[in-house]
Amino acid sequence: MNAVVTPYAAVIRSELSQPWRQALVALVLLLLWTFVLYRETGAAMVTIWARSDTFAHAFLVPPIALWLVWRQRQLIAVQVPRSTPAVLVLIAAASLVWLLGELAAVNAVTQLAFVALLVLTVPAVLGWSVARLIIFPLGFLFFAVPVGEFLLPQLMEWTANFTVLALRLSGVPVYREGLQFVIPSGNWSVVEACSGVRYLIASLTVGTLFAYLNYHSTKRRVLFVIASLLVPVVANWVRAYMIVMLGHLSGNKLAVGVDHLIYGWLFFGVVMMLMFIIGTRWTESGQAVSAHGSVPAESAPAMTASRLWTATAGFAALLAAPHLALWALESGTVGDSVQLTAPAALASDWQVRSPDVAHFKPAFQNPSGEMAASYASQGRVVGLYLAYYRHQNYSQKLVSSNNVLVRSNDPQWAQVASASRSVELAGKQICVLRTAELRSASLDQSGYQGRLMVWHIYWVNGILTANDYLAKAYSVFYRLTGRGDDSAVIVVYTPKDRTGGAGSVLESFLMDNYPSINALLRAAQQNN
C-alpha cells in the first residue's frame, strides 16, 4: 500500500527553501544581537528565577514556548517569510519603554520590554502570517517576566480580612490590628508568604497553558483563565483560615512550624488538581487552526535577499538606539555620597534633643546620604529622618519595595495601620502625604504598648508627592531634561499616647519647618 503524503509532510521532508534559509539566519542573528545588547536585563531575570521560589517556574517557560512553536511547524513551513518594516514602530516603542524603565531602575518595565523586543523579531523578520500561527507561544514568553509581587499588600489584606471573618463566624473571638490579630490561643500575623502570590502566579501560568492546549473556543479559554485567577486566591484564604484553626484547636501543636508550609502546599496542590480534573470534562478535540487556511497564496512572492538584510540591519540599529541614549545620559555621572547635617535648631523653638524619640529608624536601603534627628518644643517631641538618593540605579533607588518604614520581621516595631492625609506646608502648599501607625513590641512602665504616628512623603527636585509612580516619573523626567535625579524621602514621627493629638504635633512641625527641610535638601542638591 502506498503511503499518503500530505503537502505539509512533503514540505517538512524536503529541504528548506532559499527564502526560509535566509530568513532563519536573519532571525537567529537578530535574536543573538538582542541578547547581547540586553544581556544585563536578561541576566537579571534569570537571577530572580534562581533566587525566588515565586518565579522558579519561569525556567520552564522558554522551552515550553519552543515546544509550542514546534507543534505548529507544518503550518509554518508552507508560509512565505516576508520581513515587515512596519514592525519598526513597535520595536521603537518597546525600546523607548526599556530606556524609561532603565532610567527609573524598574526591573519589571525593562524585562517586559526586553521580552517584547524578542517577540517582535518574529514578525519583523518572518512576517505577520508566521507570527499569527504562533501568537500564543510568543505571548506565553511574557510569563517568564518575574512580575506580580506588587500584588502582595492587597493579597495580604484580603487574606487577613477573610481569615478574621471566618474565625469570627466560627465562634473564635479575634482582636485585629492591621495584618496582625490575636485569638485566645495566641498571636498570628499575615506575612508575605501568606499572601498566596506564589499560588496565583503558578496557577495563572499553568492554567493559561492548559486552556490553550485543551480548548479551542475563545469563551472556554477565557473562562478557564479567569478560574485560574480566582481559585488560587480563594483557596489561599481557606488555607490561611485552616492553618489558624489547626493551631488553635491543637493548642498550637500543629501548623505553627515547618508543617505550616507543608499543609499549605498540599492543600494548594489538591485544589489545583481538582480544578484541572474538572477542566478536562470540557476538553475540545480537533485542531485549533485549519491547515487548509494556511496555504500561501501563489501570488505572494518571496522577499529578495537585499530587502531582507536591509530590513534586518534597520531593526538591529533600532535595537541599539536606547543603549546609545543611555550612554549619553550616564556619561560623567558618579555615585558620590551626600552629606546631610541636622540643624541644631528649627523654627518655632524646635531644638535638637537626645536621645532619639523612640529608637526608630525607617528601613531605606543604600541612600547616598541620610540624616536622623529628634526635636523638642514646649513638651512636644518629633523625630525627623531624611534619606537622599543621587544617580539612582537598581541597588540604590528611592522608590523600591525594599524601602519601607518597618520590615515585617522587625523585632521592635510593627505597622498596624496606614492611610493618607492632606496637609498645608509653609502656609501655602497643600500636599497629600502617607500616614502610618506603628506599635511597639514592648510595654512601657505603665503597661502601655507604645505607638508611633509616622508621616512620610517623597521630595523629587523640590516636588512633593506620596505616589510611587509619580515619584518615578518625576525622577525620569528631570534626568531626561538634564537636571539629575536627586530625590529624598521625608519622614516625621512622634509618640501617640492615649490622649491623641499626635497628628496635630506633626502638622505643626511640618508647617513651621518644611522651608528649612527643603533648604537643606536644596543645598545637598547644589553640592553636586
Domain boundary assignment for the chain = 7-147+301-330, 150-282, 345-526
| pLDDT at position 386 | 95
For 307, how many CA atoms within 13 A lie in the half-sphere containing its CB?
A: 12
Alpha helix segments (H runs only) across 293-379? 305-330
Q: What's the CA gap between 148 and 203, in Å, rounded?
A: 13
For residue 409, the 8-state DSSP code is T
Q: Is the pTM of this model over 0.75?
A: yes
Report helix, strand or coil for 435.
Answer: strand
Q: What's the CA gap between 189 and 415, in Å, rounded?
A: 11
| pLDDT at position 243 | 87
Residue 124 · residue 118 · CB < 8 Å: no
Report helix, strand or coil for 354.
Answer: coil
| pLDDT at position 286 | 56
Q: What's the CA gap between 397 and 496, in Å, rounded?
A: 30
| pLDDT at position 302 | 61
CA 112 to each of CA 119, 120, 164, 477: distance values in angstroms, whole numbers, following the listed order: 11, 12, 37, 21
* pLDDT tens track, the chain, 528 positions: 444 444 444 444 456 778 888 899 999 999 999 999 999 999 999 999 999 888 999 999 999 999 999 999 889 888 888 888 889 999 999 999 999 999 999 999 999 999 999 999 999 999 999 999 999 999 999 999 999 888 888 999 999 999 999 999 999 999 888 888 888 888 888 887 788 888 899 999 999 999 999 998 889 999 999 999 999 999 999 988 988 888 888 876 765 665 666 767 787 788 888 888 888 888 876 554 444 445 454 445 666 778 888 888 989 999 999 999 998 887 766 657 888 888 877 877 888 887 777 788 899 999 999 999 999 888 888 999 999 999 898 889 999 988 999 887 788 888 888 888 888 876 566 788 999 999 887 655 444 568 899 999 999 998 999 999 999 999 999 998 888 889 999 999 998 876 668 888 898 899 888 888 999 999 888 876
Residue 453's nearest CA partner among 510, 517, 388, 398 is 510
Q: What's the CA gap between 514 and 377, in Å, rounded?
A: 16
Lookup result for grid cell 528548506: 16
Residue 117 · residue 98 · CB < 8 Å: yes
| pLDDT at position 444 | 53
Phi, psi of 464 (to 5 degrees): -105, 135
| pLDDT at position 448 | 52
Residue 525's nearest CA partner among 414, 359, 386 is 386
* Strands 463-465 and 380-389, sheet pairing: unpaired
Grid cell, residue 494, equals 512622634
3-state helix, strand, coil in the chain (%, to 5): 55, 15, 30
Alpha helix segments (H runs only) across 250-358? 258-279, 305-330
Q: What's the CA gap between 80 and 23, in Å, rounded?
A: 10
Grid cell, residue 391, equals 544617580
| pLDDT at position 333 | 62
| pLDDT at position 246 | 85
Residue 264 · residue 239 · CB < 8 Å: yes
Residue 233's nearest CA partner among 303, 159, 179, 180 is 159
| pLDDT at position 85 | 84
Question: What sign has the CA pseudo-torsion 388, 392, 398, 401?
Answer: negative
Residue 434 · residue 457 · CB < 8 Å: yes
Q: What's the CA gap between 97 and 106, in Å, rounded?
A: 11
Report helix, strand or coil for 314.
Answer: helix
Lookup result for grid cell 518644611: 514
Grid cell, residue 325, equals 541614549
Report helix, strand or coil for 506.
Answer: helix
